[in-house]
Amino acid sequence: MHSLLESFEQFIYPQYCNTCDTPLSEVEQLFCSKCRVNDIQFSKLGNWVRQLKTHKNLDYAHSFYWFGEVIQAYIHHLKYSGWDTFLPRLINNAIRESELPKQATEAVLIPIPLHRVRQRDRGFNQAMVIAKELAQQWNLKLDDKMLKREKYTQSQTKLSIIERQKNMYMAFHMLKDAPKAVLLIDDVLTTGSTVDACAKQLRERGSTWVGVVTLATPKIKKIYR
């Protein structure tokens, strides 16, 4: 019965690899296994907080993957079509490969919030989806009621580092006192201006150790670091 449904689905929804256009099997999604393996690579950066352009308030930074075509596609589908089955798998794989610093064993996970207008527009916060998964895997507390995004900021992809910092100035606001150790969670980390703005707020309200963990980071770093 199950296979009948699946072959039926394959008839109506034939799937092709987004990179090499070969037909996909029932278990593959968006990309064929070959292209996926080629594209998804662990960054193996370890703690790279020193390499961030903006890291005044940060103690730790880690990104699981290099931000490639595949991850971009999954984040896109998570944002716009609400697909949420692939991401947990991606995170599970990554956690096995990476270790947390000892300061983070008691940390509270905080997803970088979206502005409420954006959140309503999308229906959910992709950072929240990642944070939930991580909280479960690491057995840490999750708090998404602590930090609020006050300023509606435009997309930062075309902004320079100075502009980004200006853009993020006073963008976040704390609603209550912060715990001692905090891990901020987001989908992609580039210059660090967004997380650093968050960290600044957290430190003002009592945090002593602030780290950031993201799903991915772009490989071409020269312009940022």
Partner 1 sequence: MSYFLRFVQRYPVFKFLPIQVLGILIGVHFNFPLIPLYILFGIFFLVLFTRYFQITLPIIILLMPILVLQTGDSQNNSALPTGEVLIEAQVEDIQKKRNSDHIILNAGKKRILLQMTDTLSFLPGDTLIIRGKLKIPQSPRNPGEFDYGGYLQSQGIQAIFHRDFSIMEIIEGRSSVNRWFFMMREGIHHRLTEAVGHPYAGLAAGLLLGEKSGIQVEMKEQFRQLGIIHILAVSGLHVGFVLLVLTVLAKIAVLPKLYRFLFITSGLLFYLGISGGAISVMRAVSMAILYTYGNFREKEILPWSIVGFTAFIFLLIDPSQLFSLSFQLSFGAVGGILFMLSQFRKLTENNEWLQSLRRHTSFRWLMDALVVSFGAQLGTFLPIALIFGEIPVWAFAANLVIIPLAGLAVVTALIISLTLPITTVLGDIYGQALWGELFLMDKVSLFMNHLPVQMISFHGWGVFPLIILFVGMIALASVSQNRYRFRSMLVCLLLGNFFIWTHILESPQFTVTFLDVGQGDACVIEDGEHTILVDAGYAGFGKDYGKRVVLPYLKHKGIDKIDLMVMTHPHADHIGGLETVLKKITIREIWDTHNDFESSVYDRILKGAEQNKSTIRYPQPGDIYQLGEMKLTILYPDSAIAMSMKNINNSSIVFRLDYKDHSFLFIGDAEIQAERILANLDSLLNVDVLKVGHHGSSTSSIMSMVNHVSPKYAVISVGKNNRYGHPSENIVQRWVDIGAEVFRSDESGAVIIAVDGEGMSINPMIP
Q: Residues 6 or more apart from 143 whose CB is under 8 A from it?
A: 108, 109, 110, 179
Task: Answer whether 119's CB lies under 8 Å from 131's CB.
Answer: no
Closest CB to partner 1 among residues 60, 74: 74
Choose between 80 and 169: whose C-beta lies nearer to partner 1. 80
**Residue 81 C-beta: closest distance to partner 1, Å:** 5
Round to whole Å and give the CA distance between 41 and 97: 11
Residue 186: what are its φ and ψ, rounded to 5°?
A: -150, 175
Task: Kindly state whether residue 15 participates in binding partner 1, applying the rule CB under 8 A.
Answer: yes
Among positions 116-175, residues that touch partner 1 (CB under 8 A) are 120-124
**Least CB distance from residue 90 to partner 1, whole Å?**
14
Q: Quote the least distance from Cβ 152 to partner 1, whole Å.
A: 17
CA gap 190, 196 in Å, rounded: 11
R_g (Cα) of the chain, nearest Å: 19
Minimum distance of partner 1 from residue 123's CB (angstroms): 3
For residue 96, give both structure tokens: 């096995």
How many residues touch partner 1 under the rule CB under 8 A: the total is 23
2 touches partner 1 by CB under 8 A: no
Residue from 1, 4, 12, 175 that binds partner 1 (CB under 8 A)? 12
Q: How far is the CB of 45 from partner 1 (least distance, A)?
A: 30
Of 198, 222, 223, 205, give the one whose Cα is nearest residue 61.
198
- Considering the rule CB under 8 A, would residue 85 count as an interface residue with partner 1? yes
Can you tell me whether residue 195 is helix, strand or coil?
helix
Q: Which stretch binds partner 1 (CB under 8 A): 43-51, 74-82, 129-137, 140-148?
A: 74-82
Number of Cα atoms under 13 Å in the Cβ half of residue 140: 25
Handedness of CA 22, 85, 133, 131 (dihedral sign): positive
Site string for partner 1, 24-43 (x = CB under 8 A): -----xx-------------
Looking at residue 146, its amino acid is: M
Secondary structure of residue 109 in the 3-state scheme: strand
**Between residues 124 and 169, which has the closer beta carbon with respect to partner 1?**
124
> Of the candidates 41, 45, 51, 84, which one interacts with partner 1 according to CB under 8 A?
84
Q: Which stretch binds partner 1 (CB under 8 A): 60-68, 83-91, 103-111, 142-150?
A: 83-91
Instruction: State the residues that interact with partner 1 by CB under 8 A.
Output: 9-16, 18, 29-30, 77, 81-86, 120-124
